[in-house]
Copies of this chain bind each other. A is one copy, B any other.
Amino acid sequence: MKKQNVSDTVIRRLPRYYRYLDDLHVKGIVRISSSTLGEKMGITASQIRQDLSCFGEFGQQGYGYNVDELRTEIGHILGVDNQHRLIILGVGNLGHALMQNFRFRDAGFLLEAAFDIDPRLIGTEVAGVPILDYARLEEFIPVHRPDVAVLTVSQAVAQSTADHLIELGIRGFWNFTNVELSTSVENVRFEDVHFADSLLTLSYRITER
Task: Summarize A's interface: helix, strand, loop or mixed.
Answer: helix
Query: In the complex, which residues of chain B have a beta carbon less than 8 angstroms from the beta carbon of A196?
Result: 15, 19, 102-103, 106-107
A residues sitting closer than 8 Å to B (CB atoms) are: 2, 8-9, 11-12, 14-16, 18-19, 23, 42-43, 77-80, 82, 84, 92-94, 96-98, 100-104, 106-109, 147-148, 171-174, 180, 187, 189, 191, 193-209
- A100 and B95 CA atoms in complex are apart in Å by 13
Residue of B nearest to A187 (CB): B209
- Whether B191 pairs with A193 at a CB distance below 8 angstroms is no
- Whether B174 pairs with A198 at a CB distance below 8 angstroms is yes
Residue of B nearest to A177 (CB): B101
